[in-house]
Amino acid sequence: MTTMFVVIEGPDGAGKSTLVSELAALVSSTSGRTVRATREPSDSPLGAFIRAEHAAFSPRGRALAVAADRANHIDGVIRPSLEAGDVVISDRYVPSSLVLQRLDGLSLEEIWRYNSFAPPPTLTAILVPDPQTVSKRLDARALLTHFEERSTPALQTLLYGEAADFLRALGWNVVAIDVAASSPKEVAQRILAHFA
Protein backbone atom coordinates (compact mmCIF):
# COMPACT_ATOMS: atom_id res chain seq x y z
CA MET A 1 0.00 0.00 0.00
CA THR A 2 1.33 3.49 -0.86
CA THR A 3 2.66 5.37 2.14
CA MET A 4 0.63 8.52 2.73
CA PHE A 5 1.93 10.80 5.46
CA VAL A 6 0.60 14.32 4.99
CA VAL A 7 1.55 17.33 7.09
CA ILE A 8 -0.59 20.47 7.14
CA GLU A 9 1.29 23.64 8.05
CA GLY A 10 0.80 27.38 8.01
CA PRO A 11 0.45 30.46 10.21
CA ASP A 12 -1.78 30.49 13.30
CA GLY A 13 -5.38 30.90 12.14
CA ALA A 14 -4.67 29.84 8.52
CA GLY A 15 -7.14 26.95 8.76
CA LYS A 16 -4.90 23.95 9.57
CA SER A 17 -7.13 22.11 12.03
CA THR A 18 -10.25 22.74 9.93
CA LEU A 19 -8.45 21.37 6.87
CA VAL A 20 -7.11 18.29 8.69
CA SER A 21 -10.72 17.26 9.54
CA GLU A 22 -11.90 17.96 5.99
CA LEU A 23 -8.98 16.11 4.38
CA ALA A 24 -9.32 13.14 6.76
CA ALA A 25 -13.01 12.77 5.79
CA LEU A 26 -12.23 13.12 2.09
CA VAL A 27 -9.37 10.59 2.08
CA SER A 28 -11.39 8.14 4.14
CA SER A 29 -14.43 8.33 1.84
CA THR A 30 -12.47 8.22 -1.43
CA SER A 31 -9.81 5.61 -0.56
CA GLY A 32 -11.54 3.51 2.09
CA ARG A 33 -8.28 3.54 4.06
CA THR A 34 -8.12 4.16 7.79
CA VAL A 35 -7.02 7.72 8.46
CA ARG A 36 -5.14 8.75 11.59
CA ALA A 37 -5.58 12.51 12.07
CA THR A 38 -3.12 13.77 14.64
CA ARG A 39 -1.39 16.96 15.76
CA GLU A 40 1.66 18.53 17.39
CA PRO A 41 2.20 19.22 20.19
CA SER A 42 0.83 15.69 20.54
CA ASP A 43 -2.03 14.57 22.78
CA SER A 44 0.45 12.92 25.17
CA PRO A 45 1.05 14.32 28.70
CA LEU A 46 4.21 16.06 27.41
CA GLY A 47 2.28 17.62 24.53
CA ALA A 48 -0.45 18.79 26.89
CA PHE A 49 2.19 20.30 29.20
CA ILE A 50 3.82 22.20 26.31
CA ARG A 51 0.40 23.63 25.33
CA ALA A 52 -0.54 24.59 28.88
CA GLU A 53 2.72 25.79 30.40
CA HIS A 54 4.31 28.24 28.04
CA ALA A 55 6.16 30.03 30.88
CA ALA A 56 7.84 26.79 32.00
CA PHE A 57 10.36 26.95 29.15
CA SER A 58 13.19 29.10 27.90
CA PRO A 59 13.25 29.35 24.09
CA ARG A 60 15.90 26.60 23.81
CA GLY A 61 14.12 24.52 26.44
CA ARG A 62 10.85 24.80 24.46
CA ALA A 63 12.64 23.85 21.23
CA LEU A 64 13.99 20.71 22.89
CA ALA A 65 10.70 19.85 24.61
CA VAL A 66 8.82 20.18 21.32
CA ALA A 67 11.46 17.98 19.64
CA ALA A 68 11.14 15.38 22.42
CA ASP A 69 7.35 15.40 22.03
CA ARG A 70 7.85 15.01 18.26
CA ALA A 71 10.13 11.98 18.80
CA ASN A 72 7.47 10.36 21.01
CA HIS A 73 4.78 11.24 18.47
CA ILE A 74 6.78 9.68 15.60
CA ASP A 75 7.69 6.54 17.54
CA GLY A 76 4.34 6.09 19.28
CA VAL A 77 1.79 7.27 16.72
CA ILE A 78 3.08 8.18 13.25
CA ARG A 79 5.41 5.26 12.47
CA PRO A 80 3.15 2.50 13.89
CA SER A 81 0.14 3.92 12.00
CA LEU A 82 2.09 4.08 8.71
CA GLU A 83 3.41 0.55 9.27
CA ALA A 84 -0.20 -0.63 9.74
CA GLY A 85 -0.99 0.86 6.30
CA ASP A 86 -3.01 3.79 7.65
CA VAL A 87 -2.96 7.29 6.19
CA VAL A 88 -1.49 9.81 8.66
CA ILE A 89 -2.41 13.50 8.54
CA SER A 90 -0.68 15.76 11.06
CA ASP A 91 -1.62 19.31 12.05
CA ARG A 92 1.93 20.76 12.47
CA TYR A 93 5.33 18.98 12.36
CA VAL A 94 8.95 20.09 11.82
CA PRO A 95 8.11 23.25 9.81
CA SER A 96 6.27 24.65 12.86
CA SER A 97 9.52 24.48 14.79
CA LEU A 98 11.42 26.14 11.93
CA VAL A 99 8.99 29.07 12.25
CA LEU A 100 7.94 29.27 15.92
CA GLN A 101 11.34 28.48 17.49
CA ARG A 102 12.83 30.99 15.06
CA LEU A 103 10.39 33.61 16.39
CA ASP A 104 11.85 32.67 19.79
CA GLY A 105 15.32 33.64 18.51
CA LEU A 106 16.88 30.32 17.45
CA SER A 107 18.53 29.86 14.04
CA LEU A 108 17.24 27.47 11.37
CA GLU A 109 20.45 25.45 11.75
CA GLU A 110 20.06 24.99 15.52
CA ILE A 111 16.37 24.06 15.18
CA TRP A 112 17.22 21.53 12.48
CA ARG A 113 19.90 19.94 14.72
CA TYR A 114 17.13 19.10 17.20
CA ASN A 115 14.76 17.79 14.50
CA SER A 116 16.91 16.01 11.92
CA PHE A 117 15.70 12.61 13.20
CA ALA A 118 12.19 13.31 11.86
CA PRO A 119 11.28 11.32 8.74
CA PRO A 120 10.15 13.47 5.77
CA PRO A 121 6.40 13.29 5.11
CA THR A 122 5.13 12.14 1.72
CA LEU A 123 3.73 15.66 1.31
CA THR A 124 4.01 18.83 3.39
CA ALA A 125 1.33 21.40 2.49
CA ILE A 126 1.95 24.93 3.73
CA LEU A 127 -1.22 27.04 3.77
CA VAL A 128 -0.74 30.59 2.51
CA PRO A 129 -3.69 32.67 3.74
CA ASP A 130 -4.65 36.29 3.24
CA PRO A 131 -2.90 37.99 6.23
CA GLN A 132 -5.78 40.41 6.84
CA THR A 133 -8.34 37.60 7.01
CA VAL A 134 -6.17 35.76 9.52
CA SER A 135 -5.67 38.90 11.64
CA LYS A 136 -9.45 39.25 11.90
CA ARG A 137 -9.81 35.57 12.90
CA LEU A 138 -7.15 35.95 15.61
CA ASP A 139 -8.79 39.14 16.90
CA ALA A 140 -11.90 37.03 17.51
CA ARG A 141 -9.99 34.50 19.67
CA ALA A 142 -10.32 34.92 23.43
CA LEU A 143 -6.82 33.61 24.17
CA LEU A 144 -3.75 34.12 22.04
CA THR A 145 -0.53 32.10 22.32
CA HIS A 146 2.80 33.81 22.96
CA PHE A 147 3.62 33.43 19.25
CA GLU A 148 0.30 34.88 18.09
CA GLU A 149 0.90 37.89 20.34
CA ARG A 150 4.49 38.42 19.20
CA SER A 151 4.22 38.01 15.46
CA THR A 152 1.90 38.81 12.58
CA PRO A 153 0.31 36.48 10.02
CA ALA A 154 2.46 38.19 7.36
CA LEU A 155 5.69 37.47 9.28
CA GLN A 156 4.69 33.86 9.94
CA THR A 157 3.90 33.44 6.22
CA LEU A 158 7.33 34.83 5.30
CA LEU A 159 9.09 32.48 7.75
CA TYR A 160 7.08 29.51 6.43
CA GLY A 161 8.40 30.37 2.96
CA GLU A 162 11.98 30.25 4.28
CA ALA A 163 11.27 26.99 6.14
CA ALA A 164 9.89 25.50 2.89
CA ASP A 165 13.06 26.44 0.98
CA PHE A 166 15.24 25.01 3.78
CA LEU A 167 13.37 21.68 3.76
CA ARG A 168 13.19 21.42 -0.05
CA ALA A 169 16.99 21.72 -0.12
CA LEU A 170 17.03 18.64 2.14
CA GLY A 171 14.79 16.75 -0.30
CA TRP A 172 11.40 17.28 1.37
CA ASN A 173 8.30 17.43 -0.85
CA VAL A 174 6.82 20.79 0.18
CA VAL A 175 3.99 22.61 -1.60
CA ALA A 176 2.55 26.06 -0.85
CA ILE A 177 -1.24 26.22 -1.12
CA ASP A 178 -2.94 29.59 -1.56
CA VAL A 179 -6.06 29.35 0.63
CA ALA A 180 -7.15 33.00 0.44
CA ALA A 181 -10.33 32.37 -1.55
CA SER A 182 -11.02 28.64 -1.16
CA SER A 183 -13.32 26.68 1.11
CA PRO A 184 -11.78 23.94 3.29
CA LYS A 185 -13.36 21.33 0.97
CA GLU A 186 -11.72 22.87 -2.11
CA VAL A 187 -8.35 23.02 -0.36
CA ALA A 188 -8.68 19.36 0.67
CA GLN A 189 -9.41 18.40 -2.96
CA ARG A 190 -6.37 20.33 -4.17
CA ILE A 191 -4.14 18.54 -1.68
CA LEU A 192 -5.55 15.14 -2.62
CA ALA A 193 -4.85 15.91 -6.29
CA HIS A 194 -1.13 15.73 -5.44
CA PHE A 195 -1.61 11.99 -4.89
CA ALA A 196 -3.45 11.33 -8.19
Ligand X SMILES: Cc1cn([C@H]2C[C@H](O)[C@@H](COP(=O)(O)OP(=O)(O)O)O2)c(=O)[nH]c1=O
> Which residues contribute to the annotated binding site for ATP?
10-17
Least Cα distance to 65 among 82, 87, 41 occurs for 41
By CB under 6 A, name the one of 13, 95, 121, 153 that touches ligand ADP: 13
Q: Nearest approach, Cβ of 6 to ligand ADP (angstroms)?
A: 15
Give the interface segment with ligand X, choosing from 3-11, 26-34, 143-151, 153-161 (CB under 6 A): 143-151
The one-letter code for the residue type at 122 is: T
List the single partner that 179 binds among ligand ADP, ligand X, none, CB under 5 to 8 Å by kind.
Answer: ligand ADP
Give the interface segment with ligand X, choosing from 25-33, 76-84, 93-101, 183-191 (CB under 6 A): 93-101
Residue nearest to ligand ADP (CB): 15
Beta bridge partners of 155: none
Q: Nearest approach, Cβ of 154 to ligand ADP (angstroms)?
A: 15
Tell whether residue 66 is a contact of ligand X (CB under 6 A).
yes
CB atoms within 10 A of CB 30: 11
CA distance 152 to 71: 29
Per the CB < 8 A criterion, the answer to whether 4 and 32 are in contact is: no
Per the CB < 8 A criterion, the answer to whether 75 and 28 are in contact is: no
Coil, strand or helix at 186: helix
Farthest CA pair distance, the chain: 45
By CB under 6 A, name the one of 1, 30, 45, 54 that touches ligand X: 54
Residue ranges for the known binding site are 10-17
By CB under 6 A, name the one of 1, 3, 17, 30 that touches ligand ADP: 17
Q: Choose between 135 and 189: whose C-beta lies nearer to ligand X.
A: 135
Per the CB < 8 A criterion, the answer to whether 151 and 31 are in contact is: no
Edge-to-edge order in the sheet of strand 5-9? 35-39, 87-91, 5-9, 123-128, 174-178
Q: Nearest approach, Cβ of 123 to ligand X (angstroms)?
A: 18
List the single partner that 194 binds among ligand X, ligand ADP, none, CB under 5 to 8 Å by kind.
Answer: none
Residues forming the site for ligand ADP (CB under 6 A): 10, 12-18, 137, 179, 182-184, 187
